[in-house]
Amino acid sequence: MLTITLKSGKEKSLLRRHPWIFPTAIERVEGKPEEKTKSGVTALIQSASGQFLARAAFSPQSQIRARVWTFNDAEPIDHAMIKRRIKNAVAYRTASVRDTNAIRLVFGEADGFPGLVVDWYAGTQGHLVCQFQSAGVELWKKAIVQALIAETGCPNVYERSDASVREREGLPLVTGVLAGTEPGEETPVTENGVHYAVDIKTGHKTGFYIDQRDNRKLVMDHASGRDVLNCFCYTGGFSLAALKGDANSVISIDSSGDALAVGRRNMALNGFDETRAEWWDADVFKSLRALREQGKTFDLIILDPPKFAASPQHVERAARAYKDINLLGLQLLRGNGLLFTYSCSGAISADLFHKIIAGAANDAGVDARILRRLSAGIDHPMTTSFPEGEYLKGLLLQKI
């Protein structure tokens, strides 16, 4: 078996159960020549003194040189492990996720599958959509797909391994059918009574922002009679939730015409009164300023932008952008109005996000209070030892 021996002292993060091993921590890699270049092969990780630390998937081309499968010496990496972990992942979602047929079934490290994402749309007649984003899960792809079909009873599996992180693992970008039928252009899902059309083949991520389910529900519950502004609306997830919650009016802004077109179709799918909604194909930064100049105000504003900080070196610039939109958002709120504000940048911690928002309120000259801290839904768990897993964080603020 491939054996990776760490430098003296470099076992500390593994002893704290952090699941990644970087090249700088490695003293030597021993094994057969073909193993030493094989992407995804299982490696035994040991300390400089020869103590067992973990079994991990080796990724010879990646800056994350190995990702831990198990810290348990007694657990082999085999088909039984794959099946067991998929079974657990499915059982947990089945027990805890309600009122939707759009579910994150597997979420990377927290489900024991580093680099694997599986979303399940529309039940057994629908589709499982997978992203294999690391060498280990790529090598075990067939076994994972078989286990998914067996545990869910859904025969249709589609691959969306087209995220650029795969390139960092030396893996090509691929999409296509892994089992069963190909998804159509729109897969209909229903979440908390709202119908959405999901474009599995070309939509963002696997087609839908499943992670915002609880937050859409929260918006729905607070929307009645209110004038709503939804910034970075994509296909209108929050907008539709607000309309379902009897919002008085909803303005949705995004710079993608295609996404807005799906948003409008989603509105028709639900039979909502179209006169209550406007869809603006525009830049949010400019629109917020224009609205301020026009003296427009709203009762409820949602700011759910794209990942402004793609990596830690972008944090400062990202912080300025978050501050900018939140400052404008707070100014556009009426008294007692609500701001639902989010960051999906893993490099921005919840604490830092909180500080940025406090700075925005201060500079806007606005008093606001935090009603709730927000996060992704229960089907997006994170491991206790892996803070990188907490990418989505938000705050529900009320202007005083």
Beta strands at 66-70 and 26-30: parallel, antiparallel or unpaired: unpaired
Q: State the minimum distance, in angstroms, from the CB of residue 242 to ligand SAH.
A: 11
How near is the Cβ of 257 to ligand SAH at its closest, in Å? 9
**Taking the complex as a whole, how short is the minimal distance between the CB of residue 355 and ligand SAH, in angstroms?**
23
Catalytic residue among 130, 231, 233, 344: 344
**Spatial CB neighbours of 130, under 8 Å, sequence gap ≥ 6:** 116, 117, 118, 144, 145, 148, 157, 158, 159, 160, 161, 178
In this structure, what are the phi and psi dihedrals at residue 257, rounded to the nearest 5 degrees?
-60, -35
Closer to ligand SAH by CB, 108 or 305: give it.
305
- Give 107 or 232: the residue with its C-beta nearer to ligand SAH: 232
Distance CA(273)–CA(215), nearest Å, equals 23
- Nearest C-alpha neighbor of 326 from the set 363, 351, 294, 291: 363
How many Å apart are CA 124 and CA 90, to the nearest integer?
Answer: 13
Q: Count the neighbouring beta carbons within 10 Å of the beta carbon of residue 151.
A: 18
Kindly tell me the sign of the dihedral angle through the C-alpha atoms of 345, 350, 352, 353: positive
SS3 call for 233: coil
Instruction: Work out the angle at residue 372's Cα, subtended by the Cα atoms of residues 102 and 193, and round it to the nearest 5 degrees.
Output: 30
Of 259, 370, 263, 248, nearest to 297 (Cα)?
248
Nearer to ligand SAH, 169 or 199 (CB): 199
Whether the CB-CB separation of 251 and 280 falls below 8 Å is answered with yes
* Distance (Å, whole) CA 239 – CA 216: 9
CB 230 to ligand SAH: min, Å: 7
Which residue stretches of 33-120 are H helix?
A: 33-36, 79-96
For residues 61 and 39, give the distance between their C-alpha atoms in angstroms, rounded to a whole number. 8
| Burial zone of 95 (CB within 10 Å; 0-12 exposed, 13-18 middle, 19+ buried) | exposed
Q: How far is the CB of 347 from ligand SAH (least distance, A)?
A: 17
| CB closer to ligand SAH, 71 vs 285 | 285
3-state secondary structure of 107: strand
Give yes or no: 344 in active site.
yes
Interface with ligand SAH by CB under 6 A: which residues? 209, 212, 232-235, 237-238, 253-256, 259, 283-285, 304-306
Minimum separation from the CB atom of position 307 to ligand SAH (A): 8
CA distances from 99 to 123, 126, 179, 195, 223 (A): 12, 16, 27, 12, 19
State which residue, 67 or 226, has the beta carbon closest to ligand SAH: 226
Closest to ligand SAH by CB, 106 vs 284, is 284
Please, which residue, 156 or 212, has the CB nearer to ligand SAH? 212
CB neighbours (10 Å) of residue 213? 26
Q: For ligand SAH, which is the closer residue by CB, 67 or 201?
A: 201
**Shortest Cβ distance from residue 124 to ligand SAH (Å)?**
25
Minimum distance from residue 346 beta carbon to ligand SAH (Å): 15
Q: Which residues are catalytic?
A: 344
